[in-house]
Amino acid sequence: MFLKLMHLLGLIDITETDSSDSDLELSTVRHQPEGLEQLQAQTKFTRKELQSLYRGFKNECPSGLVDEETFKTIYSQFFPQGDATTYAHFLFNAFDMDRNGSIRFEDFVIGLSVLLRGSVTEKLNWAFNLYDINKDGYITKEEMLAIMKSIYDMMGRYTYPCVRDDAPFEHVEKFFQKMDRNRDGVVTIDEFIETCQKDENIMSSMQLFENVI
């Protein structure tokens, strides 16, 4: 899924660039990203990959920022048969790390680095942040259900065999019962990571849902 999003944004062509390229060609955009060396330290991309990613990002987003409506428009093109609006909203919030209503190049490339090249633990931390809708450090059953329903709205009803309307609720009930180990009604980051790593069924489901990220 991310490859499709990157392709649409013009970011997929991570090719060797001319060594005479300046740092990140900052002069033509309103938002100027952090220095190349700092982004190299924060991600698992090389200097030339970052230059290529930035060039594509700048071409599609000349202001250097992506707002939520633009993100939804781009993302919804992949799911014309469903309603991707709600899931795109949650995904946007996961990328918008400083919660200011826009995704900077830094936000995008740091998240991309985790999802494409991060360890299992790093990816699970990112997934926890996605499910933790209000960013209070816990996942409630309601939050998990909201994410799951948004995924089914986007693609579940068009899968084969057909998915029942109560499938998201059943899915969440099963997952939440396993994850909420101390039965306090919320899932912590430690509970989330430990349960996911120990349960092959959950990990395989997480892999499936990576396809819609």
What is the per-residue pLDDT across 72-110, written as a single tens digit (0 to 9) for each? 988 888 888 889 999 999 999 999 988 899 999 999 999
DSSP secondary structure string for all residues of 165-195: TTHHHHHHHHHHHHH-TT-SSEE-HHHHHHH
In this predicted structure, the answer to whether residue 46 has a pLDDT above a threshold of 80 is: yes
Per-residue pLDDT band for 189 (boundaries 50, 70, 90) equals very high
- Residue 10 CA to residue 106 CA, distance in Å, equals 16
Which tokens is 155 given? 């693609």
Give the pLDDT score at 187.
Answer: 98
Predicted pLDDT at 11? 47
What is the number of residues in the chain? 213
**What is the rounded CA–CA span in Å between residue 116 and residue 127?**
13
CA separation for the pair 139, 73 (Å, rounded): 27
Q: What is the pLDDT of residues 114-144, one digit of tens each?
A: 988 999 899 999 999 999 999 999 999 999 9
48 within 8 A of 65, measured Cβ to Cβ? no
Whole-number mean pLDDT of the chain?
A: 81
pTM of the model: 0.78
The span from the CA of 84 to the CA of 153, in Å, is 7
d(CA 125, CA 120): 9
Tens-digit pLDDT profile for residues 147-182: 989 988 887 555 545 556 677 888 899 989 999 999
The fraction of the chain above a pLDDT of 70, given in percent, is 75
Asked whether the beta carbons of 213 and 151 are under 8 A apart, the reply is no
